[in-house]
Amino acid sequence: MKNTPFTDKHIALGAKMAEFAGFNMPISYTGINDEHAAVRKNVGVFDVSHMGEFVLKGEGALDLIQRITTNDAAKLTKGKVQYSCMPNENGGIVDDLLVYCLEENSSYMLVVNAGNIDKDWNWMQKHNTAGVEAHNISAKTGLLAVQGPNATKVIQQLTEMDILNLKYYTFVKGNFAGVENVLISATGYTGAGGVEIYFEDINNNADIIWQAIFKAGEAFGIKPAGLGARDTLRLEMGFCLYGNDIDDNTSPIEAGLGWITKFTKTFTSSELFLEQKNNGTTKKLVGFEMIDKGIARHGYEIQNAEGAAIGVVTSGTQSPSLGKAIGMGYVETSQSKIGTPIFISVRNQQLKAQVVKIPFE
């Protein structure tokens, strides 16, 4: 297993550790519900240094991004970020990712999922027919997500950059906690607000940044948070998790990601996705809440009242904020309307649920 620059700190803090995407990662410290509440109501810190970062530079960088991603990166100006996905040639998704515009038309950073770093790099280079300068900086980049309504108040104490007024899906770069060239963005994966802090030279800077954040956050009762709470937080918002809700066999149209699929350009599988947009799909990703007592888990079958299979659960949990069991899954499009009763097959029992809108409430 690989370690992040903060693995020793997680262990010293007594975190429950487990393998995730090949990394030794903290799942929880004081408990998922406690950490979830800290982020929703106050401020929590996630180590997400396992994520991957690629930098593309020079002529052809934008063209390459345009050809391999669904969103329109030409709209990005310096300091802006975009959520997108890389489709495969069969109408599925290689990965979902963030595109950072470092310099218009000439320099970009792609942030990809930890488990897909090699896969994404190889896919990108396969399509890099013009020889665009590309750097995989994943191993030397540290990343902390400081999330919650008090996150920006904590972070603002450590920099002269304007963090309090940082708009959603934008970033700034400068001196942070005495460390130069730190990139701070506001993209979020929790729905609770906050920032992400990217930095290099991890051997020298990781400890400095960690200590500074927790010292600045003492007055707010800042807490470290693990991947368990990160999952419950993102699921309450209805955010897709690669490998669960989207994968190589799901299209962005089926997944409700038509808003990041722009047909003002041509990209891999764009003709297929346009056909799906115009003519509809046979399945659709929906949110649901349990009516009967029980929790739906990834892979559980979704049925109609007669017991016929109509879909599959992709994510499910007991929502700490809402106090009820929620989930997402693909169902036949005819069964996807909000309010539709569905049934989750749990140990040969049919548990009643209902399709609801997301974010959950």
Average pLDDT over residues 232-258: 98
CB 256 within 8 A of CB 284: yes
- pLDDT tens-digit readout, 128-152: 999 999 999 999 999 999 999 999 9
Domains and CATH numbers, the chain: 7-49+141-236 (3.30.1360.120), 52-126 (3.30.70.1400)
Kindly report the length of the chain: 361
pLDDT for res 236: 98
Give the DSSP H or E segment for 41. Answer: helix 32-41
- Strand segments, DSSP code E, in 88-236 are 93-103, 107-112, 133-136, 142-147, 171-176, 179-185, 194-199, 223-225
pLDDT for res 195: 98
pLDDT for res 286: 98
- pLDDT tens-digit readout, 272-302: 999 999 999 999 999 999 999 999 999 999 9
Q: What percent of the chain has pLDDT over 70?
A: 100
- pLDDT tens-digit readout, 166-190: 999 999 999 999 999 999 999 999 9
pLDDT higher than 90, residue 348: no
Average pLDDT over residues 213-224: 98
CB 94 within 8 A of CB 248: yes
pLDDT for res 51: 98
- % helix / strand / coil in the chain, to the nearest 5? 25, 35, 40
pLDDT for res 253: 98
Predicted structure pTM score: 0.97
* CA–CA distance, 327 with 329 (Å, rounded to integer): 7
- pLDDT tens-digit readout, 69-82: 999 999 999 999 99
Distances (CA, A) of 327 to 87, 101, 111, 289, 307: 25, 34, 26, 6, 19
